[in-house]
Chains A and B, each alone.
Chain A
């Protein structure tokens, strides 16, 4: 679904673009969509700051001029104003800065590769403890390189194995940060 949303975002006609990207259906460009999304996040944040935090405060601290919720309250107001300014395009931003990708040309880009790598990182995070550092790292490096089109399998396997072993040694033994090298059911430490 996520991919579908992104592709919808990316398929707008170049002529509809203003600054970022326009969505044909709603006539809303990507900047406004982001401002709206951030306004939603801010609404939740503001609700917590204004209505959910103060009852936790011990009575003695309530005499303080500054409460834990004071600064978040100020930020909520400022954030909502900034969202409104971006949404209303008060500055008339018209051009993209930097050398970022031209999203109107999305078909030329390898979206599937990007999503697979994001998925790979999530999987790496989830299997790092159960599979152990060496196994998880080896699989992550090997699979990502294959995905990106590496064909020298033996060389790749050797490089991935040497790097996962040497990085584990560096982090665990030299720097003294404990990382379980083996799957959790094999690990003795």
Chain B
């Protein structure tokens, strides 16, 4: 391992590769801040640039830097304007945006920066030591378990939606899964639910749906109620106060430590990834918090902000484990990275560590350096980043809408996609007015194809659904999923214990 580390250090510390890390982080942060432009679209856009570099280690280092930068930038837009460009920073906005509206945007950004830094660094250290061991655990999972694991993930998200919200969240999850079946999937090569429209042949774009669910309702709310943006204006005037108190540091330290490890472990599981890690991290921290602290969650709690931030960064690092050691992408973003690697003539898998150690180790080392670069770059830049809040709303709103439209257009290069975006955005606004949670819909949409693929594969192996009771692990996981849904609903119905109270 020491030998590997030295090879990695040698590769990363060349001037060219170091510039790749810095450049990648910068590009990622700035583009990731734009609402709607998440790591997936940024990495997809950067692939031609990376391929033109030619050197696989340099290209992968650049793309990995862009990835961390985008997650970091995504949290910034979640906190400042409640427009998460990425599903994994949705949980960040739960407490980050209330903090901004309370005039503590600077503090929120500092907490996010520190939590991300620790989460990412702890993730990188764990990856270094546990990659081979964790890969062998992940190898024990078959498609039946992957299927059950995703069902648990989706149920957990619905269960954690809060009191009186579980059935609504469940309905939204099913809606997301349904939207994912639209189009011609790779599995069957048959167009499904396209209503004969050519524009639906390739399905609904993830970026389009993400922006329709988050950026458009938020912007329309800003338009409907001008006082909302005035409140953000008040917040920005106090942006200079970046410091966090000793008390707050004490509060968030154990949260960050727990969530860095939990986030990493969730990130390693394919299909789970940063999104589930951030939601689970948030839910777990809320449920184990003291009742007085729990009441603050959702209203601007620093714990509620630190939990998803450290979890999602640790999970991003964790998702590299299955990619680098098994060649299986754990998330949409790592799937795009897998595509880039194949284009660069590198086949990730168990042999990567032996055949091309410089690639494997340089990516791991670039994670440490990337995290340091992000902390050094972002903390001093926070007051400037937050200047986006002082832009008058007559300029801000048209530009947010325009970037939202551009994000959907760049992804698909098709004006019809913009009509889908507007239609879905209006629907999402109405759903939000009726307090239907929208995040489960998007997560259902992301996990939908993977869920169906694993379900089909397991059914084919067992010639039916007997895998549900023939594989004990699957049975246990599915039972957990049912309990997760039923318990809070029953509790809410009979009002005995408010366990999942928001």
By a beta-carbon cutoff of 8 Å, the part of chain A in contact with chain B is 19-21, 30-31, 34-35, 38, 42, 45, 48, 53, 56-57, 61, 64-66, 68, 70-72, 75, 78-79, 82-83, 85-86, 90-101, 103, 108-111, 113-114, 117-118, 121-122, 124-126, 128-129, 137, 140-141, 144-145, 148-150, 156, 159, 163, 167, 171, 175-178
Contacts and interface: CB of A to CB of B under 8 A. Distances in A.
A109 B410 CA distance: 33
A90 B167 contact: yes
A93 B495 CA distance: 11
B335 interface: no
Interface stretch (B107-115, B174-182, B359-367): B174-182
Interface of B: 45, 48, 98, 101, 162-168, 170-171, 174-175, 177-178, 181, 185, 187-188, 190, 192-193, 219-221, 223-226, 298, 392-395, 397-399, 401-402, 405-406, 409-410, 413, 415-416, 418-419, 421-422, 425-426, 430-437, 451-452, 455-456, 459-460, 463-464, 489, 492-493, 495, 502
Nearest to A150: B394
A45 B167 contact: no
28 contacts: A20-B435, A56-B190, A57-B190, A61-B188, A65-B463, A65-B464, A66-B456, A68-B190, A70-B459, A75-B177, A86-B171, A91-B166, A93-B164, A95-B164, A99-B101, A100-B221, A111-B224, A117-B223, A118-B422, A121-B405, A122-B419, A125-B405, A125-B416, A140-B398, A144-B398, A148-B398, A149-B394, A175-B410
Contacts of B433: 20-21, 30, 100-101, 103
A66 B452 CA distance: 10
Given A71-B452, A92-B492, A145-B394, A101 B221 contact: yes
A23 to B, nearest CB: 12
Contacts of B421: 121
B405 A66 contact: no
Contacts, number: 194
Chain B facing A: main interface SS: helix
B109 to A, nearest CB: 19
Contacts of B167: 82, 85-86, 90-91
Given A31-B168, A79-B171, A175-B45, A66 B98 contact: no
Report the 9 A-B pairs with minimum CB-CB distance, sorted nearest first.
A93-B164, A125-B418, A144-B398, A150-B394, A82-B171, A20-B434, A85-B167, A109-B224, A79-B174
Given A101-B225, A144-B401, A171-B410, A21 B434 contact: yes
A129 B395 contact: no
B174 A78 contact: yes
A93 B456 CA distance: 36
A140 to B, nearest CB: 7
Contacts of B392: 150
A128 B436 contact: no
A91 B175 contact: no
A19 B419 CA distance: 31
B350 to A, nearest CB: 29
Contact of B435 (A91, A96, A109): A96
B434 A30 contact: yes
